[in-house]
């Protein structure tokens, strides 16, 4: 099993790369997606969140009101730690479950937004960084997410710098051209990953 850490700053196009790797046969593990799954209605995770934070964090339909919960935990480190203590072990269990079902020669891509910030590079066989200039990322965040320029700049400033990310990379996927350019580069990278996994 080849373990890939895929990262890139906000607006770099990491999810586009992730989709393309999945289409080529990679098993993509996105911790953010799993973190949402483990607190869906009817799960033990959601029951524990409600037990800890109260019924106020639910929407009328019984689903988690993420914005409301966010406003409670993000300015209170103890409450954030309490939430993480519920969600992180559940995410870990789900990831372990997925890995148990993976074939031995699987290429597993972990989508890890804060890989560099949390110094996680050593956990992976290969670190792939999706890279784009900051100005382009700011423009994308405005166009695709409706984010104000000041907010986009603040988000970028809160993450690792472009240089720090590139320094952690084994493979860089530039994403400052067309989607065709991106496809071509992802194809090259996939061939390289197959080679490293002994499947070429």
DSSP letters of 146-183? ---HHHHHHHHHHS--HHHHHHH-SEEEE-SS-HHHHH
CA angle 101, 104, 109 (to 5 degrees): 75
Whole-number Å distance between alpha carbons of 146 and 124:
34
Which residue is associated with the tokens 């992730």? Answer: 18
Q: Is-contact 107 4, C-beta < 8 A? A: yes
Q: Is-contact 1 125, C-beta < 8 A? A: no
Q: Is-contact 136 176, C-beta < 8 A? A: yes
Whole-number Å distance between alpha carbons of 58 and 120:
33
- Name the β-bridge partners of 58: 64
Q: Which pLDDT tens digits describe the chain residue by residue (200 residues)? A: 999 999 999 999 999 999 999 999 999 999 889 999 999 999 999 999 999 999 999 999 999 999 899 888 877 889 989 999 999 899 989 989 998 999 888 999 999 888 999 899 999 999 999 999 999 999 999 998 898 998 889 888 888 999 999 999 999 999 999 999 999 999 999 999 999 998 75
Q: Is-contact 139 176, C-beta < 8 A? A: no
The alpha carbon of 113 is separated from its chain's Cα centroid by a whole number of angstroms, namely 4
Q: CATH number of the domain that 132 lies in?
A: 3.40.50.300
The per-residue pLDDT for 154 is: 87
Whole-number Å distance between alpha carbons of 6 and 21:
10
- Write out the residue range of the structural domain in which residue 90 sits: 2-196
How many folded domains does the chain comprise?
A: 1
Q: What are phi and psi of 26, to 5 degrees?
A: -75, 150
Whole-number Å distance between alpha carbons of 18 and 37:
19
Whole-number Å distance between alpha carbons of 29 and 33:
8
* Euclidean distance between the first and the last CA atom of the chain, given in angstroms as a whole number: 14
Which of these, 85, 81, 56, 80, lies nearest to 68 by C-alpha position? 56
């Amino acid at each position: 099993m080849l373990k890939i850490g895929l990262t890139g700053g906000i607006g770099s196009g990491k999810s586009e790369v992730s989709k393309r790797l999945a289409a080529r046969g990679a098993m993509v593990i996105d911790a953010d997606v799993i973190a949402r799954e483990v607190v869906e209605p009817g799960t033990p995770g959601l029951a524990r969140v409600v037990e800890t934070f109260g019924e106020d964090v639910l929407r009328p339909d019984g689903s988690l009101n993420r914005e409301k919960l966010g406003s409670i935990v993000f300015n209170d480190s103890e409450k954030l730690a309490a939430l993480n203590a519920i969600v992180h072990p559940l995410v870990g269990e789900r990831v372990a479950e997925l890995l148990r079902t993976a074939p031995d020669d699987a290429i597993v891509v972990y989508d890890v937004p804060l890989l560099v910030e949390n110094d996680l590079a050593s956990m992976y066989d290969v670190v792939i960084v999706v890279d784009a200039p900051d100005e382009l990322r700011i423009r994308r965040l405005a166009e695709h997410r409706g984010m104000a320029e000041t907010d986009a700049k603040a988000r970028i400033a809160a993450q690792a710098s472009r240089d720090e990310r590139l320094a952690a990379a084994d493979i860089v996927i530039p994403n400052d051209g067309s989607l065709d350019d991106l496809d071509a580069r992802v194809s090259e990278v996939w061939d390289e990953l197959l080679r490293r996994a002994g499947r070429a």
